[in-house]
Amino acid sequence: MGQPAAKQRRATYADLEAVPPNKVAELIAGTLHVFPRPAPPHARASSRLGIELGGPFDAGRGGPGGWWILDEPELRFPDPAQPGEVEAVVPDIAGWRRERMPELPTTAFFPLAPDWVCEVLSPSTEDVDRDEKMPIYAREGVRHAWLVDPIARTLEVFSLASGRGWGPAVVHRDAARVRVEPFEAIELDLSVLWVR
């Protein structure tokens, strides 16, 4: 008879803090995920999307304003499986309506779930983004989520459906010009997201 497998220790926030600064780390359900910094197509798509949305929605230039649009904010939520512990996730971009969060917190993290998140997919992060982080965002009440794939040149748009799960994705491709919730006030030219 074989020996039972040793129970793996749950990672803690202290483990996340010990990750070298040249890595991206997230703590999900007691598992520490450590990734390399993003490759150029990923960084380009994320940066361009932040620029496209930041002017009209964060700064109110050419759009309605009323949002905080931030790159790589750390979100901390209670770990439902381990009372007293937290889960820490870092979306590539996130946005909060200022009516829900009138001021930015003074902490190094955000305890309030955003209204919108965007994950830019890469081969090293896609499974975690889709299978682990998207359910957390739904559980915490994030209303809108986008998945951007700079290699496939796609934008997948999800809205939170009743019952706290994601509705079916609406997929936009290549150089489409789209108006997408929650930022439908402007037309977004997807071609600006892809490396040329």
Report pLDDT digits (tens) over 112-165.
Answer: 999 999 999 999 999 999 999 999 999 999 999 999 999 999 999 999 997 669
Q: Is the pLDDT of residue 193 over 80?
A: yes
Residue 49 covered by a domain: yes
Strand partners, 34: 25
- Do the beta carbons of residue 15 and residue 30 sit within 8 Å? no
Half-sphere exposure of 91 (CA within 13 A, CB side): 28
Alpha carbon distances (Å) from 169 to 6, 17, 101, 140, 158: 40, 34, 27, 19, 5
At residue 21, the pLDDT reads 87
Q: Which band of pLDDT confidence, cut at 50, 70 and 90, is reported for residue 9?
A: confident
Q: Is the pLDDT of residue 6 over 80?
A: no
Residue 3 covered by a domain: no
pLDDT-wise least confident of 38-47, 152-161, 177-186: 38-47
Residue 58 covered by a domain: yes
Which helix (H) or strand (E) element contains residue 67? Answer: strand 67-71
Has this prediction a pTM greater than 0.85? yes
d(CA 165, CA 127): 18
Q: Is the pLDDT of residue 44 over 90?
A: yes
Instruction: Identify the three-state secondary structure at position 16.
Output: helix
Strand partners, 177: 189
Residue identified by tokens 């197509």 is 41
At residue 141, the pLDDT reads 95
Residue identified by tokens 């108006």 is 179
Burial 92-108 (b: 16+ CB within 10 A, else e): bbbbbbeeebeeeeeee
- Do the beta carbons of residue 115 and residue 73 sit within 8 Å? no
pLDDT (tens digit, 9 = 90+) per residue, 45-100? Answer: 999 999 999 999 999 999 999 999 999 999 999 999 999 999 999 999 999 999 99
**Residue 75's domain is classified under what CATH number?**
3.90.1570.10
Residue 79 covered by a domain: yes
Residue 8 covered by a domain: no
Residue 11 covered by a domain: no
* Domain of 126, in residue numbers: 38-193
At residue 119, the pLDDT reads 98
Q: Is the pLDDT of residue 8 over 80?
A: no
d(CA 38, CA 58): 24
Our CA dihedral for 122, 92, 88, 103, rounded to 10 degrees, sits at: 180
Residue 2 covered by a domain: no
Residue 167 covered by a domain: yes
Q: Per the structure, how many domains does the chain have?
A: 1
CA angle at residue 75 from 73 to 79, to 5 degrees?
Answer: 160
Q: Which band of pLDDT confidence, cut at 50, 70 and 90, is reported for residue 169?
A: very high
